[in-house]
Structure 1
Amino acid sequence: MNRAALVPALLLALAALAGCASVPESSPVQVLRQVGGGEDALVPPGPVAGSNPLDLVRDFVFASGSSTERHGAARRFLSADAEGWDDSAGLTVLDGQFDTVPAPGAANPGSDTTTIRIRGTAIGRLTSSGSFEPGQAMFQQDVTVVRRDGQWRISQLPPGVVVPLSVFRDNYKPVRTWFVDPVRRLAIADVRHVPSVPARAQAARVMELLLAGPSGALTGAAVSLLPPGAQLRSNLTTTDDGAVVVDLTRLGDLDESSRQLLAAQVVLSLSEVNVGRVRLLADGEPLLPDRQDLTREDVAALSAEIEPGADVPGLVVAGGRVRQLSGPEPSVPLPGVLGDGSYDVESAASTVDGRRLAAVAHIGAQRTLLVGNGAAGGVTAVPLTAGTMTRPSWTPTGGEVWTVLDSAVVARVLVDNTAPPRTGRVNADELAAVGPIADLRLSRDGVRVVAVVGGGLYTGAIARTIDGEVAIRNVRRLRSDDLGAVVAADWRSPESIVAITRSPEMLVGQVTVDGLVVQQIVSNNLTAPLTAIAAAANRPLWVTDQTGVWSFGGGDQVAWRQVLGGAPDAVPLYPG
């Protein structure tokens, strides 16, 4: 069976109640305890007797959040005329507000047939593969409602499902499915959304998503070690001692490294749905001969995720010098030429381990990129000059630093300890076609970029080839209406971005990498406009306003705290 033939079957199974992977009829594996059975869903109530057409359609939209029994709760609102409704044709997510109103030209109230319009703002759609594709736009959809035996029911409606965001979040769980960076040979995360109920079926659903391959957002940047045609030999089962049995077949010839990466894909993905231990088999035998059961800790070293160490300080560029910002002496300049005034530094970045620094400096009317080893070491001028350069950003390994020249050209500099820095280019045509690039940050797992382009917030996947070509692909804009004009952004985690904007309604906002959720962050004591931001996992946010740099750690903190005053030009930075 090839992958093209496999995917429709997988997606159909994903929509089913049990969510169990399809099993070949000839499977010799005995089911011990099937994962996904024996748990009933709480189905939303059906239509209220005597509902008017407007309330009926509104209640139908809310009931559509439950995918149980092929949206069985929503189907209660349909007449026999609409029983062929195709609920598998994608799911549109609306923001928090939507209306049901009579459609233009709808019949008068005394008629037994009328048309109701669902009206709101769409924020994107959930594909049949469980990935959310952002796209904020006005939404309207008309449904026909008929009165039969004194009760209104929906008799005609377009294919697909429509739900408000709050209902979607109540009914779907975000999970990270894991695939592989084909160049670095590390596991990378791909966010999907699976039905929350029944919870015991989620493991089987996750396996279906793994077999279907990476989402469109990571096309060209991720592959699967599950080859086309791979499938499960049996339903997922649980042993008496609590391990979930995953028995795969048609894996082809995999070397040891590929088997380990495949194990990482499966084990990391299942850990997202509370599977603590996996017994991973290939045709009934252990995939890794020396390990019967695997836990997340066993494969964690193969994950591309990386966080700055607690001992690597945050820095700030202020007054043309690179300074400490975290630690016992905030604002003290670093030793060496980047801190002593030898250069007029505009922005900077350190590697995740703090061993290298890159800085953008004014030299005459131009900007030049400087690269050095360590906070106190010397620097080398990279043969790049431009009228403007964005704040540098490092890859996780510290082997490349990226910047944008003159708001249009994405440049990368290859750095090692044996040769002078070498320059190269990134194919960023998709990004540059949108407009001028004001800011660009690499994610700390090395998979994506976030960029501010023409005032909008965009993400893209980093696609690399074995021969060294690099491109930014699958460019998508996030939450254009909610964020407005964006100034700068940074990665808080591989799945979360923080941005500062010119909008007084949301000076600081946090948005998921797929654009599904945006949250306003308190900004009550900041003085607009904001000019810079720095973020990292498990560290406070830093922003620069008109008075200096402020810190916000969340939790019980109700306001920002100033950590550096009198520095409206400051550019704070965390490693990465």
Structure 2
Amino acid sequence: MRARYGAVLLLLALTTAACVGVPDSGPVVQTRSQGDISSDSGIYFDPRPPQDGDSRSDIVRGFINAMTATPIRTTRAREFLTADADAAWDPQKRTITYALTPTPRETANGVSLTLTGADVLDSRGAWQGALPEDDRTIAFPMSMEDGQWRIDSAPDALILPETWFERNYRQKSLYFFDPTASTLVPEPVYVPTGQALATTLTRGLLMGPAGRLERVTQSFVPRGLKVSVGVAVSDDGIADIPLIGDAGPLTSNAVSLMMAQFAWTLRQDPTIEAIRVSIDGAPVPLPGGATSYRVDGGAEYDPAGLQASPLLYGLQDGRLVSGTANALGPVDGPLGNDDYGVRSIGVNLEASRVAAVATSGTSLLTGPLTEGDDGRVDTVVSGATDLLRPAWDLADRIWLVDRAEGGARVSYVEDDTVSSLRVPGITGERVRSFLVSRDGTRLVALLRGRSGTYTLVVSRIEHGSAGRVVGATRAEELSVEGEIQLPIRAIAWRTPTSIAVLSPFTPSVAQVRLASVDGSPVGSDSSSSTVEGRLRDIAGSPAAGEETYGVTSNSLIVLFGADRRITPIDESITEVVYVG
């Protein structure tokens, strides 16, 4: 499932009849009932069952084919297994996608096949990257049962063609809290399309965050709980979440945080307006005696920042300006009144403070946005080599990357104290630009190799429970939409889980593509944008409803959506950014 979407490939023969799948529960339905066909798809595909006299290769081929049943279910696939293999097989453990139709080969002990271009997702649907090479050849031991060949052991996975996967799965997010429980952090997962979206998302949330992210995220949904049946959504949009298991003691604060996680996760189902949670049949008591919790609740935990300013900020003749796209004007503060000799800026989320890199790139200034605050402008960093544009997170930390002679140095400023942070895969590299998510858990960097190639990578920032930064994970490469390798000029946030990537085609034509923060390829339902004009930068925000702009020397161009309006700006404006 790499960046091959849209490639001209032979359509896999075993999926010609498959289309949108509808799960009865989770990523895979482990039941022998046929299930219902989704009301949003009139297409049904019931794969061919085993036939008398099928060869061993026929049985393996049929098993692989049967996993593309529509609606999604494993009933047919289990018919190709022995009774013992059926009882042991757990396809919910992971999902494997492959690029080309595998050819079964008979061996002395059974059948083997090798998957080409295989990727893997975990039990929650979180993308894990390429399937290890040692796991790409799968051996199927075979046995005779009632005079017919059957598979005697199958890998615990749903094995799907990537083209089919792309049609039948969509990327959503599970919402967990940061270690301080002050903001929600979205974790992308892939879930099947169809009527059971709420059930699938709930089961993913109950699994909790990945173990390797224990210092990045946490969950207030108690471990040990399961969905007793499925999440039912009433005609008036109330989702009933029946849980069973030992929840332990639940404080009112823990309930409030848990309900915020459910609300943010389940609001992705457009049929849901409010939720009710019960544990072992007993309703979870809600604040104020409410009977349900609206899915627009928990707004204060918005990962994009509830109080974040929606305005644009920039530099004009070295002075700070702000406003909307068609009305950028000087701010009434020290950096707006005087030219301090700065070349790039970052504004904190509340739009009360500004961090500015000096024209030399060797120092960082900070000061208030407006005159009403402390009007002093301070130098908080000096002696740097080449500071990139600074970034702010919701904790009011300033993030910095200095392009030193020996490679990039990452640091952050907190309470006027500068601290260095070693980020494996970014520290010491040639960094062209970087971003930090507003929730403070992701650092994205654009690296340039010595051969001139560009690589986009992401590291997860680790925190202690008090919010102190304690480390960073090794940076992993992100896949940029499209197959053509293009140079990358600029990056900006598009949503809390996606990045807009600016690549020039020619001096006067550019393409803006997307990258997902989990490293997975961006599917064909995304919207790349080809723009005429000499774009030098992108101004983007993760907040819903805020435009992504292409920045030229004299205009701002809306990059996504039907309205590609162009707003003239003064040619003396050299920088345009959102807060963060």
TM-score by length of 2: 0.72
The C-alpha deviation readout for 1:7-65, integer Å capped at 9, x for no partner, is xxxxx97455379xxxxxxxxxxxxxxxx997346542436999xx9999999878644
Q: Structure 1 CA distance, aligned partners of 2:530 and 2:242?
A: 48
Counterpart of 1:17?
29
Count of aligned pairs:
517
Counterpart of 1:472?
472
Q: Structure 2 CA distance, aligned partners of 1:355 and 1:412?
A: 18
1:438 aligns with 2:432: yes
The C-alpha deviation readout for 1:205-251, integer Å capped at 9, x for no partner, is 33322221113674421111233434456765678985514345422
1:130 aligns with 2:131: no
Aligned residue among 260, 272, 282 for 2:256: 260
Counterpart of 2:297?
299
1:516 aligns with 2:520: yes
Aligned residue among 550, 553, 560 for 1:554: 560
How far has the Cα of 1:348 moved from its partner? 0.5
Q: Percent same amino acid at aligned positions?
A: 23
How far has the Cα of 1:506 moved from its partner? 7.3
Q: Structure 2 CA distance, aligned partners of 1:292 and 1:352?
A: 32
Give the superposed CA RMSD: 4.7
Q: Structure 2 CA distance, aligned partners of 1:229 and 1:77?
A: 33
Counterpart of 1:31?
none
**Cα distance change, pair 245–525 in 1 and its aligned pair in 2 (3 A):** closer
Counterpart of 1:190?
187
Counterpart of 1:317?
315
Task: Give unmatched runs, 5+ long, in structure 1.
Answer: 1-11, 20-35, 108-112, 147-152, 416-420
Q: Structure 2 CA distance, aligned partners of 1:102 and 1:231?
A: 39
Q: Structure 2 CA distance, aligned partners of 1:335 and 1:243?
A: 49
How far has the Cα of 1:498 moved from its partner? 0.8
Q: Report if aligned partners of 1:449, 1:459 keep a CA contact under 8 Å in 2.
A: yes
Q: Structure 1 CA distance, aligned partners of 2:136 and 2:410?
A: 39
Counterpart of 2:5?
none
How far has the Cα of 1:448 moved from its partner? 2.2
Q: Which moved more, 1:227-236 or 1:294-303?
A: 227-236
Task: Give unmatched runs, 5+ long, in structure 2.
Answer: 1-23, 143-149, 449-453
SS in 2 for 1:262: helix
Q: Structure 1 CA distance, aligned partners of 2:60 and 2:574?
A: 53
SS in 1 for 2:185: strand
SS in 2 for 1:432: coil
Q: Structure 2 CA distance, aligned partners of 1:191 and 1:162?
A: 20
Q: Report if aligned partners of 1:308, 1:353 keep a CA contact under 8 Å in 2.
A: no
Aligned residue among 528, 531, 534 for 2:539: 534
Counterpart of 1:457?
456
The C-alpha deviation readout for 1:353-390, integer Å capped at 9, x for no partner, is 32221111135xx5211111114554221134311112
Alignment of 1:79-158 (within 5 A): 87-88=91-92, 90-93=94-97, 98-100=99-101, 119=116, 121-122=117-118, 124-135=119-130
Q: Which moved more, 1:172-181 or 1:307-316?
A: 307-316
Counterpart of 1:391?
389
Counterpart of 1:46?
47
Aligned residue among 568, 573, 578 for 1:574: 578
Q: Which moved more, 1:72-81 or 1:267-276?
A: 72-81
One-letter code aligned to 2:568? V
One-letter code aligned to 2:561? G
One-letter code aligned to 2:465? I
The C-alpha deviation readout for 1:383-430, integer Å capped at 9, x for no partner, is 343111121111125x22111123522222225xxxxx23233x3332
Counterpart of 2:359?
362
Q: Structure 2 CA distance, aligned partners of 1:390 and 1:239?
A: 51
**Cα distance change, pair 562–13 in 1 and its aligned pair in 2 (3 A):** closer
Q: Which moved more, 1:61-70 or 1:168-177?
A: 61-70
Q: Report if aligned partners of 2:343, 2:359 keep a CA contact under 8 Å in 1.
A: yes
**Cα distance change, pair 136–394 in 1 and its aligned pair in 2 (3 A):** farther
Q: Structure 2 CA distance, aligned partners of 1:281 and 1:85?
A: 31
**Cα distance change, pair 85–234 in 1 and its aligned pair in 2 (3 A):** closer
Q: Structure 1 CA distance, aligned partners of 2:161 and 2:206?
A: 29
One-letter code aligned to 1:91? T
SS in 2 for 1:268: helix
One-letter code aligned to 1:226? V
Q: Structure 1 CA distance, aligned partners of 2:289 and 2:382?
A: 50
Q: Structure 2 CA distance, aligned partners of 1:62 and 1:170?
A: 16
**Cα distance change, pair 311–438 in 1 and its aligned pair in 2 (3 A):** closer
Alignment of 1:316-395 (within 5 A): 316-317=314-315, 319-324=317-322, 326-330=324-328, 332-339=329-336, 342-363=339-360, 366-375=361-370, 377-395=375-393
One-letter code aligned to 1:540? E
Counterpart of 1:494?
496
How far has the Cα of 1:184 moved from its partner? 3.8
Q: Report if aligned partners of 1:500, 1:533 keep a CA contact under 8 Å in 2.
A: yes
Q: Structure 2 CA distance, aligned partners of 1:555 and 1:232?
A: 38
**Cα distance change, pair 93–373 in 1 and its aligned pair in 2 (3 A):** farther
